[in-house]
Chain A
Amino acid sequence: MNKLISSVSPHFNSTLTTTKIMLDVIIALIPAAVASVVVFGFRSLLVIGVCVAVCIFAEWGFEKICKKENTITDLSAVVTGMLLAFNLPVTIPLWQAAFGSLVAIVVVKQLFGGIGQNFANPAITARIIMMTAFSGSMTNWVIPDASSGATPLALITKGQTDALPSYINMFLGVRGGCLGETCTLALLLGGAYLLVKRVISWHTPVAFIGTVAIMSLVCGKDVLYQLMAGGLMLGAFFMATDYSSTPATKWGKIIFGVGCGLITALIRFWGNFPEGVSFSILIMNILTPYIERLTRAKPLTGGID
């Protein structure tokens, strides 16, 4: 008889793997991807395709060069590619989309040690870098309802409230914006899927969206509009819940969400930019280690230290 395996307990593991988690995120992003095709046409599929392909290639290439274990099968590069594409206007030149993907994977993710080690969200950081580098093409919006030449938040900032799309169009995503952020319905469906599958917990999205809602109410803004405009839904469900760049503790998630909500509202209502979701998440990413240390649970020592 062959030798028996000796190992220390446990001898059982759950069937959950990193790949399965990432696959669930991809599934949750599909409704928004479909909506982007309906609203903006097939070019959005092209942008998503380029971003995903370049992300996978960049991860594979970087690990090849650095002689690290290949991790593209964990599908996290696919998620990053999809999320970055969702944060770009449909008109983005494809080489710029490719450049952004390269930045996201190589600079933000791999240079910090790969999956789980990056302190900032790759897709968001890449988007911010692209906004600085290609500010023209990053704000070259296609407005599906053709009523105006700007996104709803830009219209509000400029005071052109007459040209705003209706609530129902906002909910269905028929409005100007990045290709994956406009359809509130699709993003809510995806978010609900992640919650049901326990990939994410309710703490961050509820705290984030709730804070924006309260701030809008206090500041006399149209609450529903503020929630459906910009990238709030996409950010709250898919970006502020990223594991490696956000706190793992429950209270940490709540503080993170509230912080994101406050910064988003500050930028939207008083800042120069019409939208602040990306910046808010990046700023809170930087605070994550401190929040986590602050909110670490006290071990149950039964009153004795």
Chain B
Amino acid sequence: MRLSTVKVPHKKNTANSVPERLPIPKEVTIPVSMHIGRPAEVVVKKGDEVKVGQLIAKASGYVSAPIHSSVSGTVKKIDEITMSVGSRVKAVVIETDSKQELFEGIKPPEARDFQSFTKVIGESGIVGLGGAGFPTFVKLNVTHLDLVDVVIINAAECEPYITSDTRTMLDKTEYIFKGIEAIKKYMGVKRFIIGVEDNKPECVKKLGEFITDGSVEIKTLPSRYPQGGEKVLVYNTIGKMVPKGGLPLDVGAIVINVTTMAFIGEYMETGIPLVEKCVTVDGSAVKEPKNVIAPIGTPLKELFEFSGGFKSEPKKVLYGGPMMGISVPNLDVPVLKMTNAAIAMDEKEAAPPKTTACINCGRCLNHCPLKLDPRAIAKAYALDSGEDLKKLCVDLCMECGCCSYVCPAKRPLVQTNKLAKTVLRNYMKKKEEDKNE
């Protein structure tokens, strides 16, 4: 069986753009929630001097991640900012002294075994850099090492525009393999698969040069969206479908983004926590699209200014790519840990498409990688039928957006799926309550 996919324009305009370092901004705003899980707890206060890599917020609880200063300077205030999803989150605002002095306590981490390895990975602040931001150490901290047959390295980068993973593969190849070595050493994993889309032959070639034994395999995948979706990638590399509500570990796999892997390799050598990101700055409104290395917390507008500014007024700005990226409310929002791209769209590109009547063509259901029927889900949602939504498995939807993309009537299909998930959740909750009464 082959999973359905869609052909999206690649727009990898910046694939050859070697990342340039952004001049240190005057001020950075570092939110304490840049991961899935509980927000970190601020450990600095107004007026504190901080240096690059110094802890400014500690992990709170198991699924959480610590946060480090990306600059050297003075804490100006502990503010509250509105994130792109609308939530209010604490943020540490630091005025920089542009010296970028490294924190004295930084040294290569000492890992001896599996336990100490996951501990130092947890301390590095690394989260899934593919976009989800799930704390990496939680993913690695499996109950039994025997459960892990294979580590799949997600280097598909199937979203249009984004090339930051491409640059990782070209510029930090050795660190990717150092990360692999570390996982091999401390977790005893014997098999690694790097999944790359076939529109990046230069990456496949470069990665190939580093392969020394049979434990690492490069799997070239067709350049079809959503090749980098976790379930799609797992299926297309090891032929197993991750069960609904489950994790790749249920089929013996751990999936790690390639830039996350390179970070692990680099961190094990230097001990510098996650403080900067390579961000692809592109989109129809950007004058000189390029890859930029920026401290976490840098306002997006500085990235755009560094990329020649705008050739026309931006109407929509995204964290991430156009298929699954999140639109931001203004240009002051900061670069986050999982920000891999900042896309600014001009009026034409941002214009919402005109929705017309469903013509029942079936393109949505025939393009769904997970074989859902968005047309039927939309009907069940309109009828507010939790029972039907349960039968249609709307909670399986990974929100890749293929259905909305291919719809000739431009109907908001994946958007409706997201709303329908809430209807289903409430229905299940009510059913549970009724049962208990």
Contacts and interface: CB of A to CB of B under 8 A. Distances in A.
A299 B370 contact: yes
Interface in B316-340: 316-318, 322-331
Interface of B, secondary structure class, is loop
A70 to B, nearest CB: 11
A243 interface: yes
Contacts of B314: 4
A169 interface: no
A10 interface: yes
Given A116-B359, A297-B365, A9 B406 contact: no
Interface in B380-437: 392-393, 396, 399, 401, 404-410, 414-415, 418
Nearest to B351: A5
Contacts of A305: 244
Given A16-B406, A244-B360, A299 B350 contact: no
A289 to B, nearest CB: 11
A200 B423 CA distance: 34
A74 B357 CA distance: 10
Contacts of A298: 371
Interface in A1-56: 1-2, 4-14, 16-18, 20-21
Given A18-B408, A71-B357, A304-B245, A10 B401 contact: yes
Contacts of B358: 116
A11 B316 contact: yes
B138 interface: no
Contact of B318 (A11, A13, A16, A114): A11
A300 B409 contact: no
A5 B315 contact: yes
A153 to B, nearest CB: 32
Range class of the A interface residue count: 35 or more
A302 interface: yes
B249 interface: no
B375 interface: yes
Contacts of B376: 296
Interface string A114-144: 1111000000000000000000000000000
A304 B246 contact: yes
A116 B39 CA distance: 47
Nearest to A22: B359
B322 A299 contact: no
Given A4-B328, A9-B399, A18-B356, 12 more contacts: A4-B331, A6-B327, A10-B323, A11-B345, A12-B323, A14-B406, A71-B357, A74-B356, A243-B361, A249-B365, A302-B244, A303-B241
Interface of B: 3, 6, 8-9, 160, 231, 240-246, 250-251, 313-318, 322-331, 345, 350, 352-353, 356-362, 365-366, 369-373, 375-376, 392-393, 396, 399, 401, 404-410, 414-415, 418
Interface of A: 1-2, 4-14, 16-18, 20-21, 71, 74, 76, 114-117, 243-244, 247-250, 296-305
8 contacts: A1-B313, A6-B329, A17-B356, A20-B408, A116-B359, A299-B396, A300-B241, A301-B244
